[in-house]
Structure 1
Amino acid sequence: MTLNASPYGSERILSALRLTLALASHSQPSRIKLFLISDAVITAQSGQGNTAGPSLGEMLTEAMAHSVAVYVCRSCAEARGLDQTRLLPGVKISTMPELAGWTLEADKVLSF
């Protein structure tokens, strides 16, 4: 699943994470991969708080606890000043060539 929306500009990331958690409870979570690209990489930044509604960081952490793999685009993260030390534990930095490979191997690809 690719996520490219700004985490707090709309409810697209929230919807993607809700679907991810639902899928993780009904299928083999280890098959689910989230790839955050563009402004969506901010979703994986550690230390975020949210006083209104669910915390997207907490939802990502919960997904990873269910064996969902979470990746951020390296160039998108770098453009926003994020490196591994500023990401939630368990989030990995990845590349477009890796995403291309996963896309070709996948049965289904969803984009938010």
Structure 2
Amino acid sequence: MAKNLFILNDPPYGTERSYNAARLARTLLNANEEVRVFLMGDAASCAAAGQKVPQGYYNLGDMLGGVIRRKGEISVCGTCMDARGMAEERLIEGAKRGTMDILTEWTVWADKVLVF
């Protein structure tokens, strides 16, 4: 079982990079791989609870919730949250405020680091 770390940098909408990373993360979890996702920069918004998107459009908050429900872990850069005025209470259930120390620990833990 490989240990996979995803580092996302792009916003939830406007590009499809974070969407594609979430798709791959969920697929790896379905294949019994271990997955951790660290959200940085504009990707911090991917873990915002209560996202309202047009009907038929993907919802990154729901997709990341699926990662958590499949036993993946999600951490959001605290500095990036602060810069965007995001309180920890605004995160989807199961996502946690993170630090560079956590990202460092996760990077050392991982067999593979995928950056989107």
Under TM normalisation by the shorter chain, which class is it? over 0.9
Residue 34 of structure 1, CA deviation: 0.2
2:22 is matched with: 17
Query: As a proportion of its length, which structure holds more strand?
Result: 2
Residue 54 of structure 1, CA deviation: 1.3
- Gaps in structure 1 of 5+ consecutive residues: none
- Gaps in structure 2 of 5+ consecutive residues: 1-5
Deviations 1:3-23 (A, max 9, x none): 001111200011001001100
The count of corresponding residues between Structure 1 and Structure 2 is 110
Calculate the aligned-residue CA RMSD, in Å: 1.0
1:46 is matched with: 49
Deviations 1:68-97 (A, max 9, x none): 100000100011011211111110011012
- TM-score normalised by structure 2 residue count: 0.90
1:2 is matched with: 7
Letter in structure 2 aligned against 1:42? S
Structure 2 CA distance, aligned partners of 1:101 and 1:68?
16
Deviations 1:13-56 (A, max 9, x none): 1100100110010023xx31000000000011111111152111
Structure 2 CA distance, aligned partners of 1:67 and 1:77?
23
The runs of at least 4 aligned residues of structure 1 exceeding 2 Å deviation read none
1:35 is matched with: 38
| Aligned match for 2:110, one of 96, 106, 111 | 106
Structure 1 CA distance, aligned partners of 2:58 and 2:85?
25
Letter in structure 2 aligned against 1:41? A
- TM-score normalised by structure 1 residue count: 0.93
1:95 to 2:116 alignment: no
Query: As a proportion of its length, which structure holds more helix?
Result: 1
